Amino acid sequence: MSLPEPTPAPLPQSPSEPALMRQARRLAQADAPWLHEEVARRLADKLAPIRLQPRTWLDWSAHLGGGGALVAQAYPEARRLIAEPHAALAARSAEQAAPKGWASRLPWRRPAAPAVWVPDAEGVPPPWSHGGVDLLWANMVLHASADLPGLMARWHRSLATDGFLMASGLGPDTARELRALYAELGWGLPTVQFVDMHDLGDELVRAGFGDPVMDMERLTLTWATPEAMLAELRTWGGNVAHGRFGGCRTPRWREHMQAALSNRLRGPDGRLRLTIELVYAHAVKPVPRAAVAPETRVALDDMRAMVRRPGKS
């Protein structure tokens, strides 16, 4: 007797696409958040044991990720490409990546600027040659997608066979103190529902990745005042949770919130404390395998990968 395949548990509700786009336009006007740059440094430390040496790499959500210089330092000979989820972020990335200094004014010394790609722009093909990139770097992206399975499928298509993914994001313990306070006061959810790292690993496998390695760590961040904490939280993005309050809050409500934060989140040292859970993901795109069946159809690109694997360092 055969048992039915188990139904995968649904992922937590993701932020809505319109909310993400509004947030992207605002964040394009600012620098990458401090937290994103710190997570990029920690993710870059995980590159050291990897023996693969990419010739091309795709910096996914490069401006907000804040880790481009770290990957370029690890792989100085690799060609960098950029993918941004919104035209405003693409313009900011193109501006930052443009050659600068005296060498940029000499045509024979001018370094080539990385190509910037907006994946959802109609009719715009990816900027890499046939076959995909060797490394896809996606810092602080795992929690910020309205369609995580679709995003992982796109990442899989963007990678060359034997290419590898390095990604990070926020886990479910992030801002647990703030979410508990909001629930107690009946204010709804102040964040999206962050995805557990085990569910992320399952999604990577479903997307076709091999050998996924998931890791997590928790940080405790502190601030002197509620105003300082709220100011930094705004640099991380915004409340894009489903069901968030749709109107404008009053100054009296803001004073009430700041008093509640000061009373409930203050630690023994007198500073406000907030837990941040970081999730890291590493996976490779394996050689495709044809299913065993009386008749099997294989895409031409997959057939090429099966019979002729690219050279590895």
Tens digits of per-residue pLDDT, 59-91? Answer: 999 999 999 999 999 999 999 999 998 888 888
Q: In this structure, what DSSP letter does residue 113 have? A: P
Report the half-sphere exposure of 283 (CA within 13 A, side-chain side).
27
Q: Is the pLDDT of residue 108 over 60?
A: no
Distance CA 112, CA 133 (A): 18
* E strand map for 104-201: 116-117, 133-138, 159-170
Locate tokens 């915004």: which residue?
238
The closest of 209, 231, 229 to 220, measured between CA atoms, is 229
Which one, of 95, 94, 97, 89, lies nearest residue 24 by Cα?
Answer: 89
Q: Is the pLDDT of residue 19 over 70?
A: no
pLDDT single digits (tens) 215-240: 999 999 999 999 999 999 888 876 65
**Nearest by Cα to 181 from 230, 119, 248:** 230
Cα–Cα distance measured from residue 301 to residue 311, given in angstroms and rounded to the nearest whole number = 17
Q: List, edge to edge, every strand of the sheet that includes 159-170.
A: 116-117, 79-83, 56-60, 133-138, 159-170, 272-284, 210-223
What is the pLDDT confidence band of residue 269, given thresholds at 50, 70 and 90?
A: very high
Pick from 213, 214, 169: nearest CA to 192: 169
Tokens of 31: 């620098």
Answer yes or no: are the C-beta atoms of 71 and 45 closer than 8 Å: no
- Torsion sign (Cα): 67, 123, 209, 302: negative
**Both tokens assigned to 49:** 């044991």
The band of 173, judged by pLDDT with boundaries at 50, 70 and 90, is: very high
Instruction: Give me 213's structure tokens.
Output: 């390695």
Which amino acid would we find at residue 245? F
pLDDT at 311: 44
Query: How much is the average pLDDT of 192-217?
Result: 93
d(CA 213, CA 91): 33
Structural domains of the chain sorted by starting position, each given as residue range(s) with its CATH number in brackets: 17-172+194-220+278-307 (3.40.50.150)
What percentage of the chain carries pLDDT values higher than 70? Answer: 76
DSSP H/E element including 83: strand 79-83
Distance from C-alpha of 209 to C-alpha of 154, rounded to nearest angstrom? 11
CA-to-CA separations, 223 to 120, 226, 312, in angstroms, rounded: 38, 7, 47
> Which residue has tokens 């992207």?
24
H helix count then E strand count, the chain: 11, 7
Q: How confident is the model at residue 31 (pLDDT cuts 50, 70, 90)?
A: confident
Q: Which residue has the tokens 């949770």?
A: 241
Whole-number pLDDT of residue 80: 95
Mean pLDDT of 116-120: 88
Sign of CA dihedral 83, 89, 94, 96: negative
Is the pLDDT score of 306 beyond 70? no
Higher pLDDT, 124 or 176: 176
Predicted confidence at residue 2, as pLDDT, reads: 46
Which value, in Å, is the radius of gyration of the alpha carbons in the chain?
22
Answer whether residue 3 shows pLDDT above 50.
no
